[in-house]
Amino acid sequence: MSDFEETLAEILTIEFPNSQHVDCFFHYTHTIYRNIQKLGLSSEYVADDEFRNTCRKLMALALMPVSLVLQAYDDLHDSVLESSSKKFDLLKPLFSYFENQWIKNVDIQRWNVYGIHMRTNNNAEGVKHYIVLIFCCFS
C-alpha cells in the first residue's frame, strides 16, 4: 500500500509480480477533496449536506466491490446530470475529473479497498515518524 507514488507502484509490480498493489484510501479521498478545492467548491462542500453527500458517495466508490464500481459511478453521474439544480451543475467538472483520473487513468483495482482490513498507510507512516524521531534524538 502506498500513496499514489507511480514510480513505487511500477517497481513493486516488477519486483513482486504476484502481489497486488493497492493505494491508500486516505490519500485517494484527500486527492479528490483537493480537486474539490481546486474547482472552488469547498464552501459548497462545507455548507450543503446534499452536495457534500454526493461528493462523499463519489469517494465511497472505493469501498464497494470492484464489480459494482462502474455501475454505481454511472448511476451517481446520471443522477447529477439529470438534476436541474444549479449546485449539481457545479459538480459536473468534479465528475469529469473523477472519470478521467480514477476510471480511465488509474486501474480501479489500485484504488479500490473493498475487503481490505487496513485501508490506509497511516500506521506505517506513524511508525516511520517514530523511528525518525528516535534516530534524530540519538544521532
**Interval 55-73: pLDDT, tens:** 999 999 999 999 999 999 9
Q: What is the CA radius of gyration of the chain?
A: 18
**Interval 87-102: pLDDT, tens:** 778 899 999 999 999 9
Q: Where are the domains of the chain?
A: 6-137
Q: What does the pLDDT average to over 97-115?
A: 93
**Interval 31-62: pLDDT, tens:** 999 999 999 999 999 999 989 999 999 999 99
Phi and psi angles of residue 2, each rounded to the nearest 5 degrees, phi first: -145, 180
* Number of residues that make up the chain: 139
Which carries the bigger pLDDT value, residue 90 or residue 85? 90
Joined grid coordinates for residue 9: 507502484
Task: Say which residues have a Cβ less than 8 Å from residue 110's Cβ, sequence separation at least 6.
Answer: 9, 21, 22, 23
Nearest-10 Cα torsion for 81, 83, 87, 92: 0
**Cα–Cα separations (whole angstroms), residue 128 to 39, 47, 139:** 33, 36, 16
